[in-house]
A = this chain, B = another copy of it.
Amino acid sequence: MSQDVFIIGADMLKFGRFPDRTVPDLGAEAALLALRDAGLGIGDIDAFYCGNLVEAMEMVGQRILHHIGQTGIPVVNVANACATGATALREGLMAIKSGMHDVVLCVGVEKLPRGLMGGGAQPSPQLEGLFGSTSMPSVFAQVGQEYARNHGATFEQFAKVSVKNHHHSTMNPKAMYRIETPLEMVMQAEMISWPNTKLMCSVNVDGAAAAVLASEKTTRRLGLMGQAVRIRGSALASDPWSPRNQTMPDFNTVTRLAAARAYEMAGLGPDDIDLVELHDCFATAELVHYENLSLCGEGEAGRMIDEGEAALGGRIPVNVSGGLLSKGHPLSATGIANVYEVVTHLRGQAGARQVEGARIGLTHVVGAGHAGAAAGVHILEKA
């Protein structure tokens, strides 16, 4: 039967803006960092999965190898909206489980124009191709309004998500922003689309992240079991039919589907999870994903943020990296950057933001483009 797969190296660039660098250049640096973390060179890699959106048809994976070594390995370029990075990782996992490859490199990389993710105040012609006519700020505003209508969540509760994640990011040297944003500052920032102010929206940044995966046999042979993280659950879902997505992407149903599959594959439940990196592309999104990922009961997300349960030191810390809201959201890089964050905690190397005693973590991304949606959930465990 198929075998366990381990993450034996992971790293990411500090997210930011790199106007003078190319997509392959950024991806190459992340790849080299992850390889160094594993103590390997590109010659040790059997297959390469590369996730990128804006240059999706332009052989980004191959061009990364032009920077770090053309070894002739299979390169697969994948694109799946904001689930692109998670998709690359999951394909790498299956390549090893299939027995056809043994050591696999997965990279997510993106360079974005300035402005708000997926339209909004400064719509970007470059991203219009990705998101079509969908204005993500409007969609996630409605997501929040719907939650508020059903469960009474307040503007203040949504704003607290952003306060929390910005606070977390002050402890993360890889985050784009590292500033405290007090509640009043978040609530008084420019209103983008109620209830999300500008400080409650992720911003377009450039970034890259990479992970090296290996079979159990090779992980042991390399003597890397000490730093290895087992992929316990890996799920990808496309948008199932729902009444909601007749009018706009339904991020809830697709997330719930992916989460259910990942928990089932892992044989674990929400109570087993020590930390979560979830897709807080807007503050409203984080709150609804508490429920979508079963981190709290129906209607309890507002209470969960009020009582600090999702903060570092709380019951189940969420986005201790700073999340998309403050670490930044370079679309295709996000799904591997959140894996890097969880891996760092499981290895006990997260410094000031370390979740004490973390043994199991969950990562989540969800995205949509042209009305098609994808969600990816991974459950990772200290080997």
Contact = CB atoms under 8 A, between A and B. Distances in A.
Given A57-B369, A66-B372, A369-B57, A72 B237 contact: yes
Contact of A94 (B62, B66, B100, B245): B100
Interface in A78-115: 78-81, 87, 90-91, 93-100
Contacts of A62: 238-239, 370-374
Nearest to A94: B98
Q: Residue among A59, A62, A237, A371 with the most chain B CB within 10 A?
A: A59
A369 B61 CA distance: 11
B74 A77 contact: no
A186 interface: no
Contact of A57 (B54, B73, B368, B373): B54
A332 to B, nearest CB: 9
Interface in A281-319: none
Nearest to A57: B56
A3 to B, nearest CB: 9
A116 B238 CA distance: 35
Given A57-B53, A79-B79, A236-B76, A372 B63 contact: yes
Contacts of A95: 94, 98
Nearest to A81: B59
B237 A74 contact: yes
A75 interface: yes
A373 B56 CA distance: 14
A61 B241 CA distance: 15
Contacts of A245: 70
A86 to B, nearest CB: 10
A254 B71 CA distance: 10
B94 A59 contact: no
Q: Residue among A56, A94, A240 with the most chain B CB within 10 A?
A: A94
Q: Residue among A70, A236, A372 with the most chain B CB within 10 A?
A: A372
Given A1-B99, A77-B78, A91-B91, A241 B371 contact: no
A129 interface: yes
Contacts of A77: 56, 78-80
A130 interface: yes
Contacts of A91: 76, 91, 94
Interface string A237-261: 1111100010000000010010000
A51 to B, nearest CB: 10
Given A62-B370, A71-B238, A78-B79, 16 more contacts: A54-B57, A57-B129, A57-B369, A59-B373, A59-B374, A60-B372, A61-B372, A63-B370, A71-B241, A74-B90, A74-B235, A74-B237, A75-B374, A77-B79, A94-B94, A98-B98
A211 interface: no
A58 interface: yes
Contacts of A373: 59, 62
A65 interface: yes
A236 B74 CA distance: 5
Contact of A59 (B73, B234, B368): B368
Interface string A341-383: 0000000000000000000000000001111111000000000
